[in-house]
Amino acid sequence: MDLDCEKHRKRRKTKVEDDPQTTGMELLPREIAHDILSRLPITSLVQFKCVCRAWRALVQDPQLVDLYLSCSTQDTDHPCLILHCDFPIRNNLYFVDFAAQEEEKEKVKRIPAPFSSMMPEFEVVGSCNGLLCLSDSLYNDSLYIYNPFTGCYKELPKSLQYPDQEVVSGFGFNPKTKEYKVIRIVYYRNGHGGYPRSRRIIYPLSEVQILTLGCPEWRSLGKVSYRLVRRASGALVNGRLHWISRPCRNKPARRLVSFDLTDEQFREVPKPDCGGLNRCNYHLVVLRGCLSAAVYCNYGRLEIWVMKEYNVKDSWVKEYNIGSYMPKGLKQNQDRQLKIWKNSSNGRVVGALCVLKNGEILLEYKNRVLVSYDPKNGKFKDIELQGAPNWFQTVVHVGSLNWIDTPSDAYNQGSDTSPYVS
């Protein structure tokens, strides 16, 4: 009996050595292999699939892709940050993975944009389930869906354009219907002129356009009664995108407005009693799955209000009260920086990004420096990123190998090489 077992082991060993594409990993039960791979950082998983065909096939298994996405969306304490740099001219994407090993997690790597020849300048509309939605910032007519870790990208159908318009965009996933949707809230005007005493252009007309990914054309939902602030994609919570409205004649107070991706209706959400939402220096953010409002107060202070129970007004709690701080990277040429600050981030000095595993808050200062803040002792720590661009917009991202589940094919299905550049 022992001799037969020994012969079997020898035959198995010879078979593995004869097949250059066979390693020990794929000999494990699939459930165990998937469990192991689902715990790796996205950078390690991308490198894993470049080893051989067998490992590439294992990584591209739809069951593993779904499991990895599920684990990544639940583990918000180890974010993968996308840095979008639009300075000086041609746009670039970078990333830093906080789930990587200690010596790697603060190294910034560049991600090539394979569509850059068609869209050299772009804005990040939003990030959802490992996918980025990017829009043309020059002509406002092109939209792309892109997975930066697989290299897959797809241009979306063109939408109706107006000669003089301002667009508020959003990108999200409807968990009930398993559909991705892009929304464009277009404010426009037919003629020239407007209101001569106004400091900004007034767009009296509006149209809401929506595209379900996989459909050939956009749908019009009519006009909207809210004037939403044109910023990055609204915070996505409970299948709804959220923005804060501008005050207007018939609605002088700012409102917290949501768009439900299921029934495609706008609704108001109760806002916190902080008073700061009536000012312009604030932004919405998702902290550990909760809708949150970061309000920039006087002297560089930041208040963060968290809605513990969605759509319940009494559940708003002032979770963090962050004092003023000047990062080391901004102390040089401070006078010059103050002039630039007036024109960037709508006057906001600091913005909240996410909560890290150790309970610290990750902050971005003036699109230049990342800082962690410990609410227990009130201490700040500058995060020295190796190879980071001088100017960037930070997008909290979920690293995954996910792609759009539609019959349409991507223009680029990825390759056997790593999609990022060290």
Contact 185, 228 (CB under 8 A): yes
Q: Does 93 map to a domain?
A: no
Instruction: Please provide the average confidence, as pLDDT, over all residues in the chain.
Output: 80
Over residues 23-73, the pLDDT tens digits come to 667 678 888 888 888 888 888 888 887 778 888 888 888 888 888 888 887
CATH of the domain at 64: 1.20.1280
Between residues 363 and 335, which one has the greater pLDDT? Answer: 363
pLDDT band at 182 (very low <50, low <70, confident <90, very high): very high
Residue 360 included in any domain: no
Q: Based on the structure, what is the number of domains in the chain?
A: 1
Contact 340, 330 (CB under 8 A): no
**Is there a domain that residue 141 lies in?**
no
- In Å, what is the CA distance from 263 to each residue of 117, 206, 207, 384? 37, 20, 17, 44
Query: Is 204 part of any domain?
Result: no
Classify residue 349: in a domain, yes or no. Answer: no
pLDDT recorded at residue 79: 78
Query: What pLDDT, on a 0 to 100 scale, did the predictor assign at position 241?
Result: 95
Residue pLDDT, tens place only, 241-277: 999 888 777 767 788 999 999 999 999 999 888 765 6
Range of the domain at 55: 25-71
Question: Does residue 1 have a pLDDT over 50?
Answer: no
> What's residue 291's pLDDT?
95
Evaluate whether residue 272 is within a structural domain: no
Lowest mean pLDDT, pick from 73-82, 161-170, 342-351: 342-351
| pLDDT value, residue 12 | 42
Query: Which is higher by pLDDT, 403 or 79?
Result: 403
Mean pLDDT of 133-147: 86
pTM: 0.83
State the pLDDT at residue 143: 92
Return phi, psi of residue 196, to 5°: -65, -25
Residue 42 lies in a domain: yes
Residue 77 confidence (pLDDT): 66
- Residue 51 domain-assigned? yes
- Residue 213's pLDDT band (cuts 50, 70, 90): very high
